[in-house]
Structure 1
């Protein structure tokens, strides 16, 4: 069983992937640290405000599936969440750093690396 922090970070990571949450800027903003940065699978670097805005315009985007979701505690109040995602036939390896400050757990950094298609 993981620590309270790693369990909370995993739960919140999955929550952030939920279409209902992603469509509501206030809910996304609650989960993102003020200094949040994302390095997307496209290679683009996103700021907190850009991600909050971008996710609110996804509309009826398809569901994001997760596989191999794990977390480890890097330091007091710092957790690393890693997993593989799949959406519309595209897969990526993902990692997020979550920190707990003032009793709140929020994501500080997210990074995605596309999984190359397998040629058969």
Structure 2
């Protein structure tokens, strides 16, 4: 028999009031958070609390996550980080190290992970997302969230008192074990969402390859010239959630991310190409998430 649970995290502002939550069923769930944290802290802590509360579980445990960062941190990158003394490939400290080390101690052979698409109607994922977001909202309102019953007769552990180390960007850049080019690409992609850059056509032009093109979320095909003529600051703030970063042959990096704005989300992919000593976006595509 396998127990199936979903784990999720949420942060208002990233960093900001943050929450985590995991859900098995109406009788087995938990949530918590902090006054100040990041989305990735929430994602990792949801898994950590679930593992700790099911430490004596004889059955297999399948953990559903919509965060590639959480899954890859635990299943792919952690052994290398540990061998290097909890350092990444460039010698920099691993982000969220307190939580990562606690996860390393809590992991066991009968635990498996599976990625699920977020905000897509998956019942368990939606429940975990609701718990994490409610916890973040509670801290934003100055109150403690409902902790939940935990897992059966096992009492909930002490509060997870983790702190934000460094900039919020450090969490997103931890999506790749070998930072550098990928880190730059994520930062440049994020800059294209800022009013400071979007209000300066020259700044945008420097980031777009001469042969740049886009297929927008409406299906319209944009040329570089059309984009530079019409680009302007976004009406609403859009949060960038990294889903995957891949190196491609020929000095290319593929970035797949989710843009989350008020009432909608869009799946986006960008191809960045090294041009001399800098990176420029070569292609971009957006698809409304349903």
Q: Secondary structure at the match of 2:255?
A: strand
How far is 1:90 from its partner? 2.2
Q: Tell me the equivalent position of 1:74.
A: 248
State the 1:2 CA deviation.
3.1
Unaligned runs of 5+ in 1: none
Give yes or no for the alignment of 1:19 onto 2:200. Answer: no
Alpha-carbon separation, structure 1, partners of 2:249 and 2:183: 15
Q: Which has the higher strand share?
A: 1
Looking at structure 1, the residues matched to 269 and 249 of structure 2 have their Cα atoms a distance apart, in angstroms, of 16
| TM-score w.r.t. length of structure 2 | 0.38
Q: 1:69 to 1:24 in 2, by over 3 A?
A: farther
Please name the residue that 1:113 is paired with: 287
5+ residue gaps, structure 2, are: 1-176
For residue 45 of structure 1, the aligned residue among 185, 202, 221 is: 221
Q: Which residue of 1 aligns with 2:206?
A: 30
For residues 74 and 23 of structure 1, the distance between their equivalents in structure 2, rounded to whole angstroms, comes to: 31
**Larger-gyration structure (1/2):** 2
Q: What is the CA distance between 1:18 and its match in structure 2?
A: 1.0
Give 1:100's aligned residue. 274
State the Cα RMSD in Å: 1.5
- Of structures 1 and 2, the one with the larger relative CO (CA 8 A, separation 6+) is 1
TM-score (norm 1): 0.87
Deviation at residue 69 of structure 1 after TM alignment:
4.4
Over 4 Å off, 4+ runs:
none
Paired residues, what number? 114
